[in-house]
Amino acid sequence: MDVVGSPILASTLSGAEIVVQALKDQGVQHIFGYPGGAVLPIYDALFAEPAIQHVLVRHEQGAGHMAEGYARATGKVGVALVTSGPGATNIVTPLVDALMDSVPIVVISGQVPTHLIGSDAFQEADTVGITRSATKHNWLVKNVEDLARVIHEAFYVARSGRPGPVLVDIPKDVQFAKAAYVGPKGLRPKTYHPAGSPDPAKIAEAATLMARAQRPVFYTGGGVVNAGPEACQTLRALVRETGFPITSTLMGLGAFPASDPQWLGMLGMHGSWEANHAMHDCDVMICVGARFDDRVTGRLDGFSPGSKKIHIDVDPSSLNKNVLVDVGVVADAGLALEALLNAWRARKPKPALKPWWDQIDAWRAKRSFAYRPSDTVIKPQYAVERLFALTKDKDPYITTEVGQHQMWAAQFFGFDKPNRWMTSGGLGTMGYGLPAAVGVQAAFPDALVIDIAGEASIQMMMQEISTAVQYRLPVKVFILNNEWMGMVRQWQQLLHGERYSHSYSEALPDFVKLAEAYGAVGLRADKPADLDDAIKEMIAVDRPVIFDCRVAKTENCFPMIPSGKAHNEMILGDEETRGAIDEEGKMLV
């Protein structure tokens, strides 16, 4: 008798084996996870599995952020594996983080056996209930026959359209039960149809507006990075051929090179003077893959009052959500940019942009990121500047925690390539940076990966340095240690009458000793004169490093659009802060 077809298709597998086979068929090479009772069968199937490297984390939140960092750096789907109950609840924060920042991750969670669901069994949590609003979609697989299909669908949903996190919850009995395996080919959820090509009429409208513009600006976001390197290339071509200035959100950094003369710097609350003023005064705004977030727009009724707005987004619900636009294009950013580029080339307009660029140069002359240098203390901005200068030839990957250091990193580190910048934008999750860096380093073991951190944030996921040590992932944690929750202190100074309520860390670990205790390398610098050598040493060490960079303690992050103000009401420094935020602004976050 002839046996036809692949041996895998012919045989039945256990649910746990189906999970592993499906991951392999999805091209997964790394998963970040933590075992427990409800996922033991899957761990058993992973035992001595050569195709998949499992990275054992120290906390499931770490696994989620590692999967995020991995996804953002590689453009692939990140995968995390956790047990039921506390394992699943510990990964809720990364799920929401990935949802806000459109990061494709697949989380597989174990669940108590189906006959115990609903009985408050040991380590039972209503995981699909808890994560319903934390995911793009989630599944509880009660029948092993559905398992392979659901996992393939999960990958498809995570990476397509507007990418995002998904979760597949698998009861333990389903992991033991047997079924025939089905491969990923042609498996798509019937009811899910992400947008693809743009409507040509909308593109024509957009191109016409652009051709007539006198004061245009591109405002791009993480959606361009998500659309892939090719989309970023198309963006570059379009920006250069139009001669328009370009700014981007925090999430979009690197899609367009920061070293290019048409680059205005990041926009938004701590964005550059020229970027925010260009947004305010422009006559045509071309928003690509960004979502008019409140950190970007400032006060809505003062947001770019005189402009025609073009908005390209793969998610129809992003259009007209916060800001009404004139031309809405629902499409993949890469395809829409390509169509726009072709439309532009066909029209061959010669816009007279000289007066606009003169105005922009006048704004640039404000040098809004300037700070008062010091020979005695390390200014945090100086530290990032030096870090950039000493690493830029090494094509570094930068992650951050959340706070002032994050904003200084965005302001002073120039990104010329996409997928080099991993930060928690929408959710603003302290603790994101170290695990994200570990995830990036797992994907690119030879790359220089640096987490620009704050001393408060780093302690939220500190334990993941142990993961880095275990897998010899030489991440560098560069702590701008100001002893304060600096961003909180800044707001208390500006908004709460300098009453610094619980924002000072009176007890901090000795980060050098801590590094050594974990088996990493600890370095410290507290004088500007020593900084360069210490940074060079950090780069030279082929092991995980925690760098305790002692910086000025009460430096504020400027420029700043105070809460409740418009782009053209931004302030440049401490002198202007008194009374800058009114009672209504105080209510905002």
Ligand X SMILES: Cc1ncc(C[n+]2csc(CCOP(=O)(O)OP(=O)(O)O)c2C)c(N)n1
Q: Contact, 503 vs 489, CB < 8 A? A: yes
> Can residue 90 be called a binding residue for ligand X (CB under 6 A)?
no
In the complex with ligand X, the residue whose CB is nearer, 203 or 453, is 453
Alpha carbon 212 to its chain's center:
35
Quickly list H helices, 213-367: 222-227, 229-242, 273-281, 294-297, 333-347, 354-364
In the complex with ligand X, the residue whose CB is nearer, 458 or 468, is 458
Q: Is 123 a catalytic residue?
A: yes
Q: Among 11, 27, 51, 129, indicate the residue that binds another protein (CB under 8 A).
A: 129
> Can residue 399 be called a binding residue for ligand X (CB under 6 A)?
no
Kindly give, in sequence order, each residue whose CB lies less than 8 Å from that of residue 185, ignoring residues fewer than 6 positions away.
none
Smallest distance from the beta carbon of 406 to ligand X, in angstroms? Answer: 7
Q: Among 428, 433, 474, 562, indicate the residue that binds ligand X (CB under 6 A).
A: 428
Q: Interaction with another protein in 282-301: which residues (CB under 8 A)?
A: 300-301
- For residue 190, the surrounding DSSP H or E stretch is none
Q: Among 10, 51, 201, 324, indicate the residue that binds another protein (CB under 8 A).
A: 324
Among the residue ranges 20-28, 187-195, 422-430, 569-577, the one whose residues contact ligand X (CB under 6 A):
422-430
Q: At residue 321, what is the residue type?
A: K
Burial class of residue 122 (count of CB atoms within 10 Å of its CB; 0-12, 13-18, 19+): exposed
In the complex with Mg ion, the residue whose CB is nearer, 318 or 482, is 482
Reference 430, options 454, 406, 401; nearest CA is 401
Q: Contact, 91 vs 104, CB < 8 A? A: no
In the complex with ligand X, the residue whose CB is nearer, 144 or 456, is 456
262, two tokens: 């048409």
Identify the active-site residue in 123, 233, 359, 493.
123
- Residues in contact with ligand X, counted by CB under 6 A, come to a total of 19
Reference 467, options 442, 443, 447; nearest CA is 442
Smallest distance from the beta carbon of 392 to ligand X, in angstroms? Answer: 22
> Can residue 143 be called a binding residue for another protein (CB under 8 A)?
no
* Binds 488: which of another protein, ligand X, Mg ion, none (CB < 5-8 Å by kind): ligand X
Q: Among 378, 488, 538, 539, indicate the residue that binds ligand X (CB under 6 A).
A: 488
* Binds 133: which of another protein, ligand X, Mg ion, none (CB < 5-8 Å by kind): another protein
Q: Is 172 a catalytic residue?
A: yes
Q: Is 122 a catalytic residue?
A: yes
Separation between Cα atoms, residue 26 and residue 20, nearest integer Å: 10
> Can residue 454 be called a binding residue for ligand X (CB under 6 A)?
yes
Separation between Cα atoms, residue 94 and residue 88, nearest integer Å: 11
> Can residue 191 be called a binding residue for another protein (CB under 8 A)?
yes
Kindly give, in sequence order, each residue whose CB lies less than 8 Å from that of residue 584, ignoring residues fewer than 6 positions away.
564
> Can residue 423 be called a binding residue for ligand X (CB under 6 A)?
no
Q: Tell me which DSSP letter residue 484 carries.
A: B
> Can residue 402 be called a binding residue for ligand X (CB under 6 A)?
yes
> Can residue 189 be called a binding residue for another protein (CB under 8 A)?
yes
Q: At residue 460, what is the residue type?
A: M
* Binds 69: which of ligand X, Mg ion, another protein, none (CB < 5-8 Å by kind): none
Separation between Cα atoms, residue 375 and residue 380, nearest integer Å: 13
In the complex with Mg ion, the residue whose CB is nearer, 293 or 455, is 455
Q: Interaction with ligand X in 140-159: which residues (CB under 6 A)?
A: none
Alpha carbon 577 to its chain's center:
30
Q: Tell me which DSSP letter residue 191 carries.
A: T
Quickly list H helices, 222-332: 222-227, 229-242, 273-281, 294-297
> Can residue 315 be called a binding residue for another protein (CB under 8 A)?
yes
Q: Among 255, 485, 520, 538, indicate the residue that binds ligand X (CB under 6 A).
A: 485
Q: Is 366 a catalytic residue?
A: no
> Can residue 122 be called a binding residue for another protein (CB under 8 A)?
no
Separation between Cα atoms, residue 42 and residue 34, nearest integer Å: 11
Q: Among 6, 133, 197, 214, indicate the residue that binds another protein (CB under 8 A).
A: 133
108, two tokens: 């597989």
Q: Is 292 a catalytic residue?
A: no
Q: Among 170, 319, 343, 452, indicate the residue that binds another protein (CB under 8 A).
A: 319
490, two tokens: 């800044």
In the complex with ligand X, the residue whose CB is nearer, 210 or 485, is 485
421, two tokens: 């910048």
> Can residue 480 be called a binding residue for ligand X (CB under 6 A)?
yes
Q: Contact, 114 vs 172, CB < 8 A? A: no
- For residue 398, the surrounding DSSP H or E stretch is strand 397-400
Number of Cα atoms under 13 Å in the Cβ half of residue 136: 27
> Can residue 401 be called a binding residue for ligand X (CB under 6 A)?
yes
In the complex with Mg ion, the residue whose CB is nearer, 68 or 455, is 455
Q: At residue 563, what is the residue type?
A: S
Smallest distance from the beta carbon of 503 to ligand X, in angstroms? Answer: 7
List of residues contacting ligand X (CB under 6 A): 401-405, 428-430, 454-457, 480, 482, 484-488
Catalytic residues: 60, 122-123, 172, 487
